[in-house]
Amino acid sequence: MADSLNLTQSYQIEMILPELMLEEMSGDGPDPILEAVPLVYEGDSELLRWDQCENGYGLLSARGLGGEPDVVVAPGSRTYMVAPGYYGERATLDEVQLTRMRELGTPNLPMAVNDRISLITQYQAQKSVDRIRQTTCDFLRTGRFVNVNAAGSTVHTDRIENYSTITIAGQVLPKTGLTLGPSWRTSPATATPLKDMRAIKLELERGTSSRFGKDAKVVCHPNVIVDLFNTNEVNETYKDRYGASLTTETQLEELLQGAGLPRLVPYDRGYFPTLADATARTNFTLFLADKAMIWLGVRPKGQRLGKFVLTRNMGVSPPEGVPDNPYRAKFRAETAWAEGIYMQLRYYSQMPFRYEFDLGFNGGPVVQFGSAAAGVDY
């Protein structure tokens, strides 16, 4: 039989994992992707659902003195619903490890089980946050994400209706008719990055109340900064106050801000796809593809672009008649979303002896203002 360990004995799994996730989200400073689409728990719903008002239209009708007013139809709203994704896995500390593993830094002392479980919890916390980052980055970069299981089958996908994706390669922008220059990397001598960004700013602002200027952010692959410095426009046309070429990211930010454009935020977060990659420290994969950018606009009332919603989960909200977990934690405000995450640590006191750590959540991203962001590449 399995002995369940939830806030019992010596390891408080439900308190520790959310704190480790929070540290992963913000340990290196604010994460612009998770700030734009923060994590929330909405346990009353099994579906991701949101309402969106339609745009206003037309001009107020001319009535004329003594004339009857025209009767018009007021804009309505749309309701969107999509199924969440179901994510989870089981990490084990098996009998072989429990029997043979030694405590790190010692020649033959038995492994400290709590230390090993703590490390496994940290790994799972990082994987959970990275899944949220990957899904959100794909969504905001391309307007779509497709998540597959270990067998390669699609198990969770969604798309943003009419989402803006722009490629800088001589493209004519559909709303403004402005033409973008050549790719910043393949044609650095003739590329016009500042002109391109001004044109994209006007394109994204046309017909929406979202703003894409100085207060916005462009979250980008780190190579975008390198490519910008390699263009003649940045390297030769613009100079600092002493007549020298721009060489620092601070100078580049001053140039962009002075032109009424957003600052660039390099995003170097990523993951090792396999255990072999992590062991060899190879094939580290960034969440943003090479040459990719996510342009995050600003709403007029400061509304969030969207949210990553954790939905109903039988692990934390079991069916009626099933007793509640007596050890369930009370989470502080910063980790209130952890109510939607199922966590359980079990020890099996029968052969083969082992610990099992289950972790799972249901949910997905909801982008409520699709016109407030765009994916850009070149």
d(CA 144, CA 161): 9
Tokens of 273: 């796809």
Residue 258 has pLDDT above 80, yes or no: yes
Distances (CA, A) of 47 to 53, 84, 140, 199, 312: 20, 6, 21, 38, 8
List Cβ neighbours of 96 (8 Å cut-off, separation of 6 or more).
none
Among 22-31, 139-148, 282-291, 344-353, the least confident range: 22-31
Q: How far apart are the first and last CA of the chain?
A: 57
Q: What is the pLDDT of residue 222?
A: 97
Q: What is the largest CA-CA distance in the chain?
A: 99
List Cβ neighbours of 135 (8 Å cut-off, separation of 6 or more).
85, 145, 147, 156, 308, 364, 365
Residue 199 has pLDDT above 90, yes or no: yes
Band of pLDDT at residue 231, cut at 50, 70 and 90: very high
Over residues 357-371, mean pLDDT = 95
Return the percentage of the chain with pLDDT > 70, whole number.
94
pTM: 0.89
Helix axis angle, 13-26 to 113-142, nearest 10°: 50
For 97, how many CA atoms within 13 A lie in the half-sphere containing its CB?
14
Band of pLDDT at residue 11, cut at 50, 70 and 90: low
